[in-house]
Each structure stands twice: as structure tokens, then as C-alpha cells.
């Protein structure tokens, strides 16, 4: 039976991952290569076994095996096949399995690289990563088992377990409960995999860091070897966060994309430390500084990944994302404590040797400003962390729970994000070691003057909000400086080489992929900032009850209510859909159909907005209510979200920039041909 196949594969995966740890240990003690090779093979075998377990579960889901507890809880006959298949990550047990599979993909692929130069670190890298993986697999095998079968005894009591209890029969419900309607959305199909790929990807730099600490290597090999892995993990985490925002915007029907919900913050926290890490490793690679700090950052990132998973999955939080109350909370807590303690012990053991002979002397140097960038990321992290744990702390100290909400996060992180934007604007023009104010001024005056155009035009068109003007100026400053950097570099190259400007620009980027890839990501951040400023500071809204043919206005737009239809869809929901014509400056430009779905089985309503989307902004319409047949009146809530699409466009900047930065460049290829040990699988 498929269910047995799946569960056996899961148990074998656990055994293989434990074996790889033992085998790595034997290699450390005996120094015989065959043991570390055997450990490596076991790591790869774990991937095959977990693939088998995942495929088994997908098979059970798509073939309506409702005798499986997990299948019955997240799938139903009426669901289309792709939703059945992706219900693999629609509930606690399945998404944990999927999580482990993704992690095993990373650890498996990293085993395929050439290890000859890092043979000493390899057993420790295997130990750190496989210990984590074994923890997650055992959660699946023993606590949240996706392969539990439903059994019924002669009194009609239903239990779920792998083995059949005495005097029980298998119980097959006629239909499953189905995926929560809120999750039946394309955004929900790709948001969790992206986020998970981001989360679990940090296992690679973390285990390399632990490997370096364990063998006492103080060079930057672990950073260079994992640079692309870190970037890829970071990109997936960023996209996961963005797609989550997009899903909330499309589905939750409150006109927003980010609510400072504790689970959103839990996913943001490793992103903050991960982004700080991406910046500070550059200093270590170039100048051998910040070695301890980079260790701290990657350990913190890993701990925050596990902490975020714990917050989401233990049921300690009330949140849009939280899974049901689960008994895995204490296990997670133990695991975080143990791994964090071991990491810190290793770090303090190597503390002295990780020192640097160079010291920072001036804030106005690239190193100094990178440090400031890191301080700000940490500041934002502390604010987020404080906000999440404040209710728990206040309860312990005063006995009364005190909470903070979105205003707290907005006011504490807003100024720090603005400061980060400012840094993004000036740092590209600041030299290593030390810069004088004169030299910086000489470089920056042209882009600064051009950047003032944006706030001045905004002011002329009536924007008087100081915070909005300041942040618009900061965004345009970063944009101008970044473009100026491309321009300056290309002009210099074209003068020295005689190539024309575009060839020079192409060569400039392809010879310095990391730097210019980073700048492209910065441009993505600028677009995102513009979108956030637009929707946070200039959102307008209105509401109204309209009879057929009546009109309502918002900004330049107006809407005429045309029709209301009600029908039953074949997946068990009743759909009520309104049709409105959109006018801009009294010219008809389109049609909107906001709707309300009612799922009969789960008695759940779902208000689905319809959006008229342009680069200038979104007209976001919700169907709130309607009068019974005859009167044909309906109530609508309408939001105008200026510039919001630039947030998603910024996401493409992240993708493009990361692709440029991770693409193998000429220098890598030279190293590759001269010295095979630097070959990387990505």
C-alpha cells in the first residue's frame, strides 16, 4: 500500500540522516575517506527517500484516499487536481514533510560539489545540516504524521494512527473537509514553497559556518563557498514575503498587503539578519574584518528561521497564518535552545582567532557605513522581536498582558528604513577606508540635484506631507545615484577601452556581476519604496449603496453598478457577483466584477475584490452586501491604492539583480579552469 511505502520511506530517511551524522563522526576520529563519502551518500539517499515520501502523499491526495487523516483534513472530492496535489503544503503535517524535502534538496545538492579543498569541514557541515533535517523528519515520523490512517472501533470512536489498533476497522469518510477556502488561490500555491525555500536555504551557509568554527578555520572560504546559496535563499525568502503580501491583497479583502501580524514578522526577522549578512560578508571578503559579526549574523539567521517556524506551527500565536494548536511547540523550543547554545559555544571557542588586525576608524568610509547599515538592520530586528515578545514579557513581569500593534512597528521601523534608504544612496559613492566630505560632495551633487525634481514636482501637485516628501526624495536619491554609478562606470570604461557606451555598460556589469547585481536589487528596493509610500500615505477610500445604474466617485474614477448575478459553482460554493463599469474622467475604461463566495460545507464567506490595475495605482472594489431580489441594491467599498504595483515590480528587480549577482562571472571561470575546488553547483 502506498501509505506504508510513504511512511517506510520517511522512517528510512530518518535512519539515513542519523547514519550520516554517525558516519561523519567516524571520519573525524579515523580520518578514513570512505566514511565521509558514505556520509555524503547517505545525505543524498535522504533526498531520494523524502522524494518518495512526498510523492506517496501527493498520490494519496490526488487519488482521494480519505482514510488517511491528513488527506481527509485538507482535500475534498470537489477540489481540482492541482489543488489536491498542492494540499501537500496545505496543512501542518504535510507542509512539515514538504519543508524537510526542500531542505534535503539543498543538503543533497551541496554534497555534489567538489569537496577536496574543504574536506576538513565536510563532516561538520554534514553533522550540522543533517541534525536539523533529522529533527524535522522525526517531527513528521512521531508527532505530526501525514501518513496516519483513520480507524473506527465498535463504539464508533475514531482514532488516527499508523498501525491498526485492536478490534478496529479502517474508517473512510465519504469526503474530505477540503482546503480552507482562503488557501484556494494561486498565490497560496506558490507563496509557501517560495518562503520555505528561503527559510531552509539558510541551512547551507549556517552549516558551513559551523564547519569553519569546528575546525578553527578563520579564512573566508565558508563565505565564498556559500555566497550563491545565501543569495538564492535570500531571493526566495524575499519573493515568499512579497507573494504573501500579494495573496493578502487579492484574497483577504481589506485593501492591504502587510498587517504586522506576528507570523509575518517572524518571516521578516530572518530576512533582516540575512540581508545584513549579505552586506557584511563583503567587508570580510575584501578586508578580512567583521569575522565574528558574520558568524553571529548567520547563527542568528538560522535561529530565527527555526524560531519563526516554531511561532507559526506551535499555535502560540493568534494570526492569519497560525496552524492549529500543536504539541510540537516544546520540542521546537528544546531544539532552538540546543542548537543556539552549541553554536554560541563554538563561536566563543573560536572568538580570539576570529579577530582582525584592522580596525575601523571613520564612519565616513565604506566599511563604517556598512557597519551602520548592519546596525540599522539590527535595530529593525530588535523592534520587531520586542513587539512580538512584549506581550509575553509584560505578562511575566506585571501579570497583565500588554500588546503593541501596527502603529508601534510603523513608528519604530519607519525612520530606520528611511535611514537605510539614505545609506543606499550615498554608500556607492563612498571610498573604502576613509572619504572626505569634500570628495563625497563632489561626487554626489549632480545626482542630488536631479533627485530633488521628484519631491518638487510632488509639492507643486499638492503633496504637503513632510514624511511623504522626505521619503520620496530618499527613493529618488537612491535611484539617481544608482543610475549615475552605472553611467559613470560605463563612461570610464568606454573612454579607457574605446568601446561604445552600451558595449562598455554590458562589459561593466558582466565583469562586476556582484556589485551591479546588487545595484539592480537596490533599484528594486526603490520601486518598492515608491509603492509603499503611495499606498501607505495616499490611499483613499469610499463606500456606497447603489441601485442599478447608479454611480459613485473616487478620485478621477467613477463606477456604475450594472448587474448582480447569483449562481452555484460545482465546487460547493454559491457565488454572488456584481458587475460595475469603470469610468476615468467620464470615459468608460473597463468592467469590474467583485464577488462574494459562500462555501456551504464550511459555512464560510469569502469576499473577493476585483481590481482595475495600472502603474498609477489600483482601483480595488469589494462587494459588501446586497438587498434581497427585487430591490437590486448593492453596497460597495472602494479603495484607491496609488502606485501599489511598483511594490510587485520591485520584486522583479530582486529577481533580475540576484540572477546577475549569482551568474558565474569571468573570474569564477578562470578559477574554475585553474583550480577545480572552487566549482559551485549553482
Minimal distance in Å, beta carbon 526 to another protein?
Answer: 24
Judged by CB under 8 A, the residue of 32, 401, 669, 676 near another protein is 401
CB nearer to another protein: pick between 462 and 628: 628
User: Is residue 397 within the footprint of another protein (CB under 8 A)?
Assistant: no
Q: Choose, by CB under 8 A, the member of 543, 568, 614, 666 that binds another protein.
A: 543
Q: What is the DSSP code string of 11-64?
A: HHHHHHHHHHHHHHHHHHHH--HHHHHHHHHHHHHHHHHHHHHHHHHHHHHHTT
Residue 326's CB: how many other CB atoms inside 10 A?
Answer: 19
**Site string (260-279) toward another protein, x via CB under 8 A:** -x------------------
User: In the complex with another protein, which residue's Cβ is closer, 499 or 635?
Assistant: 635
- Does residue 253 interact with another protein by CB under 8 A? yes
Site pattern 320..339 for another protein (x: CB under 8 A): xxxxxx--------------
Return the half-sphere exposure (C-beta side, CA atoms, 13 A cut-off) of residue 178: 20
Q: In the structure grid, which three cell numbers stand for residue 247, read together?
A: 495573496
Least Å from the CB of residue 288 to another protein: 11
Among 97, 183, 276, 297, binds another protein (CB under 8 A): 183
Query: Which residue among 172, 602, 613, 632 contacts another protein (CB under 8 A)?
Result: 602
Shortest Å distance, C-beta 320 to another protein: 5
Q: Measured from the CB of residue 426, what is the shortest distance to another protein in angstroms?
A: 16
The secondary element (H helix, E strand) that includes residue 605 is strand 604-608
List, in order, residues 6 or more apart from 654 with CB less than 8 Å away.
235, 238, 239, 242, 521, 524
Do 87 and 179 form a contact (C-beta atoms < 8 A)?
yes
Site for another protein in 428-457 (CB under 8 A): 432-434
Stretch of residues binding another protein (CB under 8 A), selected from 367-375, 489-497, 516-524, 565-573? 367-375
Nearer to another protein, 183 or 265 (CB): 183
Short-list 121, 125, 130, CA closest to 45: 130
Instruction: Please tell me the distance from the alpha carbon of residue 491 to that of residue 468, in angstroms, as a whole number.
Output: 34
Q: For cell 462555501, what's the residue?
A: 599
Query: Is residue 161 close enough to count as binding another protein by CB under 8 A?
Result: no
Q: How far apart are CA 659 and CA 657, in angstroms?
A: 5
Shortest spacing between CB 564 and another protein, in angstroms: 13
Stretch that binds another protein, among 256-264, 558-566, 572-580, 665-673 (CB under 8 A): 256-264
Quick one: 580 exposed, middle or buried, by C-beta within 10 A (0-12, 13-18, 19+)? buried
CA–CA dist 199, 136 (Å, integer): 13
119 or 439: whose CB is closer to another protein? 439
Q: Which is nearer to another protein, 341 or 543 (CB)?
A: 543
Nearer to another protein, 320 or 589 (CB): 320
Please pick, from the candidates 263, 523, 606, 619, the single residue that binds another protein as defined by CB under 8 A: 606
Q: Does 386 bind another protein (CB under 8 A)?
A: yes
Burial class (CB in 10 A: 0-12, 13-18, 19+), 658: buried
Number of C-beta neighbours around residue 7 at 10 A: 22
Residue 363 interacts with another protein (CB under 8 A): yes or no = yes
Cβ 106 to another protein shortest distance, Å = 27
Least distance to another protein from the beta carbon of 433, Å?
5
The CA-atom distances, in angstroms, between 87 and each of 61, 92, 197, 559 are: 7, 10, 17, 38
Considering only residues 117-156, where is the footprint of another protein by CB under 8 A? none
For the chain, the first-to-last Cα distance in angstroms comes to 38
- The 486-525 site mask, x for binding another protein (CB under 8 A), equals ----------------------------------------
Nearer to another protein, 113 or 287 (CB): 287
Q: Binding to another protein by residue 361, rule CB under 8 A?
A: yes
Residue 406 interacts with another protein (CB under 8 A): yes or no = yes
CB-nearer residue toward another protein: 98 or 206: 98
Distances from the Cα of 59 to the Cαs of 63, 84, 404, 665, in angstroms? 6, 9, 44, 42
403 binds another protein (CB under 8 A): yes
**Least spacing, CB of residue 368 vs another protein, in Å:** 7
Using CB under 8 A as the binding rule, the residues of this chain from 611 to 650 that contact another protein are 622, 624-626, 635, 637
Nearer to another protein by Cβ, of 355 and 405: the residue is 405
400 binds another protein (CB under 8 A): yes
Rank residues 254 and 663 by Cβ distance to another protein and give the closer one: 254
C-alpha cell at 387: 513587539
Report how far residue 504's alpha carbon sits from residue 487's, in angstroms, rounded to the nearest whole number.
10
- Triad 412, 481, 245: Cα angle to 5°: 45
577 part of the interface to another protein, by CB under 8 A: no
Give yes or no for residue 360 binding another protein (CB under 8 A): yes
Q: What is the DSSP string of 623-640?
A: EEEE--TTT-EEEEEEEE
382 binds another protein (CB under 8 A): yes
Q: Which of 108, 132, 139 is nearest to 42 (CA)?
A: 108
Q: Which is nearer to another protein, 209 or 266 (CB)?
A: 266
Sheet holding 633-642, edge to edge: 540-547, 633-642, 617-626, 610-614
Does 252 interact with another protein (rule: CB under 8 A)?
A: yes
Give the largest Cα separation in the chain, rounded. 88
Candidates 4-12, 117-125, 361-369, 487-495; binding stretch for another protein (CB under 8 A): 361-369
Q: How far is CA 377 from CA 239, 294, 477, 532, 638, in A?
A: 19, 13, 20, 18, 36
The residue among 47 and 290 lying less far from another protein, judged by its C-beta, is: 290
Residue found by looking up cell 460547493 in the block: 572
Binding mask 293-322 for another protein (x = CB under 8 A): -----------------------x-xxxxx
Among 187, 288, 415, 590, binds another protein (CB under 8 A): 415
> Which listed range, 7-15, 228-236, 271-279, 372-380, lies at the site for another protein (CB under 8 A)?
372-380
Q: How many other C-beta atoms are found inside a 10 Å radius of the C-beta of residue 366?
A: 20
Q: What is the distance between the alpha carbons of residues 680 and 624, in angstroms, rounded to a whole number? A: 54
User: Which residues pair with residue 240 across a beta bridge?
Assistant: none
In terms of CB distance, is 92 or 122 closer to another protein?
A: 92
Least distance CB 403 / another protein (angstroms): 5
Q: Which is closer to another protein, CB of 92 or CB of 140?
A: 92
* # binding residues, another protein (CB under 8 A): 75
Give the separation between CA 17 and CA 13, rounded to whole angstroms: 6
- How far is Cα 253 from Cα 594, in angstroms, rounded to an integer? 10
Amino acid at each position: 500500500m502506498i501509505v506504508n511505502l510513504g511512511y517506510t520511506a520517511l522512517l528510512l530517511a530518518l535512519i539515513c540522516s542519523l547514519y550520516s551524522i554517525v558516519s561523519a563522526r567516524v571520519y573525524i576520529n579515523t580520518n578514513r575517506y570512505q566514511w565521509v563519502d558514505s556520509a555524503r551518500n547517505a545525505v543524498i539517499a535522504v533526498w531520494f527517500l523524502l522524494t518518495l515520501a512526498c510523492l506517496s502523499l501527493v498520490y494519496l491526495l490526488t487519488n482521494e484516499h480519505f482514510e488517511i487523516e491528513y488527506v481527509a483534513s485538507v482535500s475534498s472530492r470537489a477540489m481540482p487536481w492541482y489543488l489536491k496535489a498542492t494540499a501537500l503544503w496545505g496543512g501542518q503535517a504535510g507542509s512539515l514533510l514538504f519543508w524537510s524535502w526542500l531542505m534535503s534538496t539543498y543538503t543533497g545538492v551541496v554534497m555534489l560539489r567538489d569537496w577536496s579543498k574543504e574536506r576538513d569541514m565536510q563532516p561538520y557541515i554534514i553533522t550540522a545540516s543533517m541534525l536539523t533535517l533529522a529533527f524535522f523528519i522525526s517531527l513528521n515520523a512521531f508527532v505530526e504524521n501525514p501518513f496516519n490512517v483513520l480507524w473506527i472501533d465498535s463504539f464508533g470512536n475514531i482514532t488516527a494512527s499508523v498501525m491498526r489498533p485492536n478490534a478496529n476497522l479502517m474508517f473512510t469518510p465519504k469526503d474530505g473537509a477540503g482546503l480552507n477556502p482562503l488557501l484556494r488561490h494561486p498565490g497560496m500555491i506558490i507563496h509557501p514553497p517560495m518562503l520555505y525555500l528561503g527559510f531552509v536555504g539558510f541551512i547551507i551557509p549556517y552549516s558551513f559556518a559551523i564547519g569553519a568554527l569546528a575546525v578553527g578555520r578563520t579564512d573566508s572560504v565558508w563565505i565564498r563557498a556559500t555566497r550563491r546559496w545565501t543569495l538564492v535563499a535570500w531571493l526566495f525568502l524575499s519573493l515568499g514575503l512579497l507573494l504573501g503580501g500579494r495573496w493578502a491583497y487579492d484574497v483577504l479583502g481589506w485593501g492591504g498587503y502587510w498587517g504586522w501580524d506576528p507570523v509575518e514578522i517572524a518571516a521578516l526577522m530572518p530576512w533582516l539578519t540575512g540581508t545584513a549578512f549579505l552586506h557584511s560578508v563583503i567587508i570580510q571578503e575584501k578586508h578580512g574584518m567583521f569575522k565574528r559579526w558574520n558568524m553571529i549574523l548567520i547563527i542568528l539567521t538560522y535561529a530565527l528561521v527555526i524560531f519563526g517556524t516554531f511561532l507559526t506551527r506551535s499555535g502560540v500565536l493568534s494570526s492569519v497564518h497560525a496552524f492549529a494548536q500543536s504539541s510540537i511547540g516544546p520540542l521546537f523550543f528544546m531544539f532552538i535552545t540546543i542548537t543556539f547554545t552549541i553554536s554560541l559555544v563554538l563561536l566563543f571557542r573560536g572568538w580570539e582567532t576570529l579577530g582582525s588586525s584592522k580596525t575601523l576608524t571613520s564612519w565616513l568610509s565604506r566599511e563604517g557605513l556598512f557597519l551602520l547599515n548592519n546596525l540599522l538592520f539590527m535595530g529593525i530586528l530588535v523592534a520587531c522581536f520586542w513587539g512580538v515578545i512584549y506581550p509575553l514579557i509584560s505578562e511575566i513581569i506585571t501579570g497583565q498582558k500588554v500588546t503593541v500593534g501596527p502603529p508601534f512597528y510603523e513608528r519604530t521601523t519607519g525612520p530606520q528604513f528611511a535611514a537605510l534608504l539614505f545609506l543606499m544612496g550615498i554608500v556607492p559613492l563612498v571610498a573604502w577606508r576613509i572619504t572626505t566630505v569634500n570628495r563625497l560632495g563632489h561626487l554626489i551633487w549632480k545626482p542630488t540635484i536631479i533627485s530633488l525634481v521628484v519631491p518638487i514636482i510632488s509639492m507643486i501637485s499638492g503633496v504637503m506631507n513632510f514624511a511623504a516628501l522626505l521619503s520620496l526624495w530618499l527613493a529618488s536619491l537612491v535611484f539617481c545615484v544608482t543610475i549615475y554609478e552605472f553611467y559613470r562606470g560605463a563612461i570610464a570604461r568606454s573612454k579607457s577601452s574605446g568601446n561604445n557606451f552600451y558595449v562598455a555598460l554590458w562589459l561593466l556589469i558582466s565583469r562586476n556581476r556582484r556589485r551591479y547585481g546588487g545595484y539592480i536589487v537596490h533599484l528594486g528596493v526603490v520601486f518598492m519604496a515608491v509603492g509603499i509610500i503611495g499606498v501607505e500615505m495616499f490611499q483613499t477610500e469610499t463606500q456606497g449603496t447603489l441601485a442599478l445604474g447608479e454611480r459613485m466617485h473616487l478620485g478621477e474614477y467613477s463606477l456604475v453598478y450594472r448587474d448582480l448575478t447569483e449562481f452555484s459553482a460545482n465546487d460547493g460554493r454559491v457565488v454572488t457577483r456584481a458587475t460595475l463599469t469603470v469610468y476615468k474622467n467620464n470615459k468608460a475604461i473597463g468592467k469590474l466584477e467583485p464577488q462574494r463566495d459562500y462555501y456551504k460545507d464550511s459555512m464560510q464567506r469569502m469576499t473577493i475584490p476585483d481590481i482595475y490595475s495600472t502603474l498609477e495605482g489600483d482601483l480595488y472594489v469589494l462587494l459588501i452586501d446586497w438587498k434581497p431580489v427585487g430591490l437590486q441594491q448593492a453596497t460597495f467599498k472602494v479603495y484607491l491604492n496609488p502606485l501599489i504595483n511598483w511594490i510587485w515590480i520591485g520584486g522583479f528587480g530582486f529577481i533580475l539583480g540576484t540572477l546577475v549577482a549569482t551568474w558565474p562571472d569571468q573570474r569564477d571561470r578562470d578559477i574554475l579552469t585553474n583550480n577545480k575546488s572552487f566549482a559551485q553547483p549553482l
